[in-house]
Structure 1
């Protein structure tokens, strides 16, 4: 157990827990399309210092989503990704110098509202799903990702609105999130975060996540389109409702 003790400033037990959890949450994201990253950051928030939470989570998710992207590359909707990339770059640049933050709770409520609208509302107009709308989504969600850590439900709900089967949804979502988490290396590198102190833990969590992704993709292939769509909607809804509760709690505390 000695090597685990040296992975990060955290204890051996916590390091082991996070490595196992990385595999589990990657399996959830690969099979259901979303949810694993949010579950992971919720758990990490209980045991890690706030200053390390978002950058470490971002690098672990970069590995997890990058692995899933490599395994599903042929299913990526490249037109959507090409529109998403410029917006993600803009969002990352803004996040790197943004000093003024919205009151605690507002961001969570904004994300939850968007997710619930896109899942249960009348649907976004076709114009919003086009090139410019996707660019704006890339910018906004990348900015939010750098500030609150997990924008996955928001990105996933937008990708789902564009249509496509379960394989395309999972692959395109993985591609967008890979780019988004890659931007965090730049954002927090500029901010002066020392990734080296957490490198061992991040590498092991990434490797564990790759195993979880492989298992999750095997499960995805066994799901029908109807079951996938139903599970996808309800997972997003539960995550959004949790954000509502969190946002209201922070606004009233």
Structure 2
């Protein structure tokens, strides 16, 4: 691969990371959903989730540290065990699934979420018999396999914690625990190495730029319009990833 191609891939990755963290700062979710499919175009799929976990860990830990006193520890305790087990299962599958199938699974997951968002169905199922363990386990599997299970935790916490500050604090601490655990699992299964750590450091300026832009941008769109654009981007990026890797089967 030529230096020109390497430079082009790096710029593409920076743009994906910066966009993802701008979106995350504006709407409070979705960094992995926005960045995972574009990054999988320029790097092995098995490295995307550990890379995003490394980037997410720093930011979520900072938010968790600031919100520590408002955490609803009883709610956190109900979700943490299922989250830990679910991530173990998800990361294990991630380490065993062939490259082409991982890309297709990731692309399909992103497309489905994008379509659900466009149809106004981004919320998780009603609690019913699912309970905290169900939400946590499913969210953990999605987090370990695709790097994004936080919307499942949020769906349960929103029903349990009516105070916005308590909800945000509890979600922040849970995401910090989730990303830290995911990093440990990825390291234990050999998905982390020195090269990936250097890649994360190379992406750090793009992440910080995205956070800064998200904090300073003046959004002219309504929240619903913004979500529709983001979900349309999810569909496009997921389809492109599927098309790119179909030839590998």
Range of TM-score over shorter length: 0.5 to 0.7
* Deviation by residue 1:136-155 (Cα, 9 ceiling, x = unmatched): 22222222222233334444
CA distance in 1, matches of 2:46, 2:163: 38
CA distance in 1, matches of 2:84, 2:184: 10
CA distance in 2, matches of 1:206, 1:146: 21
Query: What is residue 29 of structure 1 aligned with on the other side?
Result: 24
Matched, 1:84 2:73: no
Pick closer, same or farther for the CA change 1:122–1:27 going to 2, 3 Å.
Answer: closer
* Deviation by residue 1:38-96 (Cα, 9 ceiling, x = unmatched): 11112111111233222222222223333343455566554433322111111133345
The root-mean-square deviation of aligned C-alpha atoms, in Å, is: 4.7
For 1:173-184, list aligned pairs within 5 A.
Answer: 173-184=171-182
2:132 to 131, 134, 154: 134
TM-score scaled by structure 2?
0.66
Pick closer, same or farther for the CA change 1:236–1:21 going to 2, 3 Å.
Answer: closer
* Deviation by residue 1:178-225 (Cα, 9 ceiling, x = unmatched): 322222222222222242112122124345424533553566xx99xx
* Deviation by residue 1:205-246 (Cα, 9 ceiling, x = unmatched): 345424533553566xx99xxx65x46864785577669968
Residues 20 and 208 of structure 1 are in contact (CA less than 8 Å); yes or no, is this contact kept in structure 2?
yes
TM-score scaled by structure 1?
0.65
Q: Show structure 1 runs of 4+ deviating over 6 A.
A: 103-107, 242-251
2:35 to 40, 65, 69: 40
For 1:65-214, list aligned pairs within 5 A.
Answer: 65-73=60-68, 76-95=71-90, 97-98=92-93, 108=108, 112=112, 116=116, 120=121, 124-125=125-126, 133-160=131-158, 162=160, 164=162, 171-206=169-204, 208-210=206-208, 212-213=210-211
In structure 1, runs of 5+ residues without a counterpart are none
CA distance in 2, matches of 1:212, 1:191: 30
